[in-house]
A and B are shown apart, each in its own frame.
Chain A
C-alpha cells in the first residue's frame, strides 16, 4: 500500500445521503444493508412458517385474525378456504419458507453481512477489492429476493414445489398460466439466477480481497478463523452455485421454451392428459445438479456461524482458540469434502448400491472435520476464565444445539437408516437443529459481539436474557418432537399434520384400526405443542428487535475502541470505523488469539501491537 494514501482521507468530499446510505460502496454500509435486509427476510420466512404450523396443528380451523390480518380479503378468498389453509397454499408457503430462509435469510446474514463487515477489517484492508462490485452484489440480491416474493401477489401465487424445486413436479406447477413469465415458478427461477449472480460477484470479491489485501505481516496462519471460514465459504459459493445456475436455466427453458431437459417421456397428468412435450429428459439430472449446490450450501450456511462462534469464544474465555491450526485444516477439508457428498440426498431415487456406498462413505467422513471444529471450540472453554457476556451466551448454546443437529444427521448418512427416515419429520428436525438453534444462535452471538464496533454502544444485556432463554427453550420444544414424530413415520409434507389418517385409527373404526393410523394418532398431539412453541418463539424475538434499534441510540457507550479487549484487527479501528477503516497503516506482528500470555502483563496482546523485543513468536511484520 502506498504510504501516503493514509493521509488523504480529509480530501474526500463527504458523500451525500444517497451515496452514503443507499448506493454505498463502503463494505461496512453494504454489510449493514445485507444484515437488515436478511433479517427482514428471516422475519418473513418465520411468518410463513407460523401459518404452516397453524395448518399442521389445527387443519380444520380458520387461520386466526392475529395471523391473517395482513392479507386483503381478496387474497384470503383466493388462497384460503373459508379461512383454512389449503394444501396448495401450504405448499406455496413451505416452498417459500425454505427458499427464503436459506437463500435470502441466512446466507446473506452470515456471508453477506458478517463477511462484508468484518472480513476487510480483520485483514486490515481499507475496503473490499472491488467496492462497486460489492454494491452490485447487494442490489442484485435484493432484486432477486423481491422478484421471488412478489409472486405471492400474482394469480399463480409463489413457487409451490418445495425449496428443492424438483422436476417434473416443478415443471408442471403453474403450467396453466398462459404467460409463463408471470408464473410464480418462473419468477422463482429468475430470482434464483439473480441470487446466484449476486453470490458470484460477492465471492469473487471476497477471495480477491483475502488473497491480495491482507495487511503487512498478516500471513495465512495469522489470519483469524473467521477469515478462513469466509474464504472457504466464498469458494463454495463460487464453485458449487454455477451447476445449479445451469439447472435453473435449463428448468427455465423447460418452462418458457417447452424443452424437456428434466421431463421424461410419457408424462401423463389427470388434468392435462399426455404432456405436450418431446420427453427424453431426466428428473434425476436436476436432482444431481441441485444437490451439487445443495450440500455445499449447508456449509455456506454453517461456516459463517462457526466463524462468529470461533471469534466470540477466545475473547470471552481469555484464552487462545484451542487447535487453531487443526481448525483451519478442518475447514479446508470440510470445504473439499462438501463437494463429494451430495447424492446422500438421493438415496431413494433408485441409485445403484455402489454409488450409494461411495456417498455414504464420504458423508460419514465429512463428520470428522466438523467434529474436529466443534471439539476444538468445546476444549477452548476448558480452563478459561469465562465471561458470560451476551454474545458468549449464544456461543455456548450454539455448541450443544449444533451438536444435536449434527449427530442426528449421522443416521441419515447411512442409506439403510435413510430408507426409513427419508422425507420424514426426522429430517426436518435434524436440519432445523443445525440451522435454527445452531447457525442462527451463532449469528445472534455475532450481532451482539460486533454491535459495539458498528454503533459504539453495547446491546442491552437484560433484553438479551429476555431473548435468549425463551428462544433456547422454544427451539427445543419445536424441534425435539420432530425427531420423535419422524421416527414414527410422519411425512414432512403433510399439510394437515397427519390428520387425514385418523379416520383409520382405532378410535374411529372401533376395531384394531390401521397400524400406521394408530401411530399417527399417538403422536399427533405433539403438533399442537410444537406449534405453540413456534408462536412463542416469535414473541421471544421481540426483545431482540427492540434491543437492536433501541440500543443504537440509548445503549451503554463503549469505553474504548476495543471494548472486549480482543486481539484481532477490527478492534484497532475507530468506533465506528470511518471510510477507509484504519487511521494508521495496519501491520500484524503475531497470531490472532494471543490471550493470557505469561510473558505479558495484559491478558491479551493485539495483533497490531508492536513487539517490545523480538521473540520467536513475535516476529517483525514481513511480506509473506
Chain B
C-alpha cells in the first residue's frame, strides 16, 4: 500500500506531507534558536563583566550577510525554474546557491581561525591584556620541543625530581608526553622502589611485581594497575562477605533491634582477615624518580601548581620546584580596563585612580603611555560631544558622553593611531586588516604594537584564547554561529543532492522534485532568517 499525498496535496489541508513536516521542523528550529537567543538575553542582562559590545570586525559578517541573502534569492529562482520546467536554469541558480554556502563557510572558518590564535588574559586586578603569545627562544633561536615544534610561552615549568602516578587514574597520553619530554632533555624516569605485593591468598611471601630502577613505561603501569585492580576486587569481595557475616551474627544476638541501632557495633574483622593472609596488597600509587631532575612543561589548565609539589588533573603528583612560568606575549594588541573600572565602581572606588594604580600601569611604560594617550583622546571626545550636543538643562550633565569602551579600552586600532600620531579612529588601516585583523608582520616592522611583554604567572587570574572559554559572549557567539554553520552545511548538502542527483526525478516526476526543492528551499530561507538576527546581535550590538 502506498502512502498518499507525497506529490499531490491533500484536498482539505491543501498540503503535501513533506511541506507539513518541514514547517513542523522549522517551528521546532524556532524553539531551538529561541532557546539560544533567550540564553543570550539572560546572560547579557545578567553579565557581571563588561559585555564586549561591537567587538567583532563588521566586514566579514556583512559580506556573509550579503552572501546568504544572495543565496536565498537564487534558491527561490531555482525553484521557480523547476516549476517552469527549465532544468538548465535550475542548475545555474542552484549551483550559485551552493557556491554561496561554500563561500559563507570559508569566511566563517577564517573568522574562527583568527580568534583561535588570539590570546587574552585577565590579570588578578581585572586588567585585560590581549595579543599573541610568543614562542620560547634561546640564544636567538626558537626552541623546538620533542615534537619538533615551537613552544608557546604559556607553560607551567616544573623542575621535576619525582613523579607519583595514580594506578587507576593515570592518563595514557600524558604519561607518553612526560616520557618523551624527559627523553628530549636526557633524563631517565625510573621506579623509585621495589613494588612488591601479596598477589594470591594465603601466601606469606610477597611477590615482586617490578624492581626498583625499572624505567617508566605504559606496560609497567598497566602491569601494576592490573595487580591493583585484582587485589581491590578480591579484597572488596572478601570484606563484603565478612561484613555480611558480622551483620548476621549481630542480628541474631540482638533480636528485635533495628539496623541503625546496631550499626556502630558491626565492623569487619580486618585483623582476622589479615592474619589469615587473605587480603591482597592494593597498590594505589606508584612513584618514580627523574634523574637528573629536569624541567617538564605542562599546560596551565592541566596542572594545579605548587611551590614544591604540583598535581596533574589525572592525580599524578610531581615533586619538584616550580620554575618561573610567565606568559610571554610577542605582541600586545589591546589593553582593556573596563572590567577593572567596573569592579572599582562596584566597590565605590574612583575608576580612573584604580586604573592608574593597576599593576600593568605601575610596572610597564608602554601601558602608561597608552593610557595617557587614551586619556587625552577621551578628553577631546568629551569636549567634542559637549560642543555638538550640549548639556541637559535639568541635570546639568552632558547629553552625550564617551562610552566605557572609549574610556577604558585601548585596542589595536588605537595603537595604530598612536603610532601614526593621529587621533583615535584616524589611523591608517588596510582593507585586509579590517577583515582579518592586524597585519602583525608589517606592523612589527613599523613598531606599532608593544612587543615582548612577559606576564608573571602570579598576575594571571584567567587566561584563554578567544574561544568559548574566554567569556559568555564568545561562548554564545561560537555556539550559535557554529550551530548555524552546521545548518548551512546540512542545507547545502541536501540542495546539492537535488542538483546532482535530481535529473532522473526531473524526467520522471518533475512535480515531486519541485516539491522537494521547495521544502529544501524553505529550510534554506530559515537559515538565512536566523542569520538576519545573528548578524546584528553579535556584530553590531
Contacts and interface: CB of A to CB of B under 8 A. Distances in A.
Interface of A: 1-2, 5-6, 8-9, 57-62, 64, 72-74, 76-78, 80, 82-84, 125-127, 129-131, 155, 176, 178-179, 200, 203-205, 207-208, 211-213, 238-247, 249-250, 253, 257-261, 265, 272-273, 276-282, 284-285, 288-289, 292, 499, 502, 507, 524-525, 579-582, 623-624
Interface stretch (B15-23, B156-164, B435-443, B515-523): B15-23
B386 interface: no
A74 B2 contact: no
A62 B483 contact: no
A126 B259 contact: no
Contact of B479 (A84, A155, A249): A249
Nearest to B45: A282
A292 B31 CA distance: 11
A126 B4 CA distance: 9
B470 interface: yes
A280 B47 contact: yes
Contact of B314 (A73, A178, A204, A261): A178
A276 B3 contact: no
Contacts of A258: 301, 464, 467-469
Contacts of A179: 171
A611 B470 CA distance: 72
Contact of B475 (A57, A260, A507): A260
Interface string B27-66: 1110111111011001100111100000000000000000
Contact of A74 (B233, B258, B259, B474): B233
B247 A242 contact: no
Contacts of A130: 17-18, 21
A242 B46 CA distance: 23
Interface residues of B, number: 80
B42 A288 contact: yes
13 contacts: A57-B259, A76-B236, A77-B235, A77-B237, A80-B240, A82-B236, A82-B239, A212-B20, A246-B33, A246-B39, A265-B48, A279-B49, A280-B48
Given A205-B21, A280-B48, A288-B38, 10 more contacts: A82-B236, A82-B239, A83-B240, A125-B3, A176-B315, A178-B302, A208-B17, A212-B10, A239-B27, A246-B35
Question: Which of A126, A257, A261, A278 counts the most chain B CB atoms within 10 A?
Answer: A278
A285 B39 CA distance: 7
A256 to B, nearest CB: 9
A623 B11 contact: yes
Contacts of A58: 259
B32 A243 contact: yes
Interface string B161-178: 000000011010010000
Interface of B: 1-5, 10-13, 15-18, 20-21, 24-25, 27-29, 31-36, 38-39, 42-43, 46-49, 122, 168-169, 171, 174, 229, 232-237, 239-240, 243-244, 247, 258-263, 266, 268, 300-302, 304, 313-315, 462, 464, 467-472, 474-476, 478-479, 483
Contact of B1 (A60, A244, A524, A579): A579
Contact of A208 (B24, B28, B236): B24
Contact of A242 (B1, B34, B476): B34
A242 B28 contact: yes
Contact of A83 (B239, B314, B464, B470): B239
Contacts, number: 239
Contact of A580 (B1, B260, B263, B469): B1
A73 B233 contact: yes
A624 B472 contact: no
A282 B42 contact: yes
A259 B468 contact: yes
B102 to A, nearest CB: 25
Contacts of B25: 200, 204
B231 to A, nearest CB: 9
B36 A246 contact: yes
Contact of A278 (B232, B268, B470): B470
Contacts of A77: 229, 232-233, 235-237
A582 B478 CA distance: 51
Nearest to B237: A73
Contacts of A525: 258
A208 B4 CA distance: 12
Contacts of B233: 72-74, 76-77
B20 to A, nearest CB: 5
B483 A250 contact: no
B472 A259 contact: yes
A507 B16 CA distance: 74
A397 to B, nearest CB: 33
Contacts of B29: 242
A261 B468 CA distance: 9
Given A259-B469, A285-B43, A499-B260, A73 B266 contact: no
Contacts of B31: 238-243
A624 B39 CA distance: 42
Contacts of A208: 17, 20-21, 24
Q: Which 8 A-B pairs have the closest CB atoms?
A: A580-B1, A246-B35, A83-B240, A77-B236, A243-B35, A259-B475, A242-B32, A259-B468
B471 A278 contact: yes
B42 A129 contact: no
A203 B232 CA distance: 48
A477 B234 CA distance: 38
Contact of A155 (B39, B168, B239, B262): B168
Given A60-B260, A83-B243, A200-B28, A261 B39 contact: yes
A89 to B, nearest CB: 13
Contacts of A178: 171, 174, 302, 313-314
B222 to A, nearest CB: 14
B477 to A, nearest CB: 10
Given A82-B239, A257-B468, A60 B43 contact: no
Contacts of B28: 200, 203-204, 238-239, 241-242
Nearest to A274: B461
Contacts of A579: 1
A179 to B, nearest CB: 7
A238 B17 contact: no
Contacts of A245: 32, 35
A73 B236 contact: yes
B13 A74 contact: no
Contacts of B315: 176
B12 A624 contact: yes
A579 B2 CA distance: 10
A261 B259 CA distance: 45
A82 B1 contact: no
A414 to B, nearest CB: 26
Contacts of B36: 246, 250
B1 A126 contact: yes
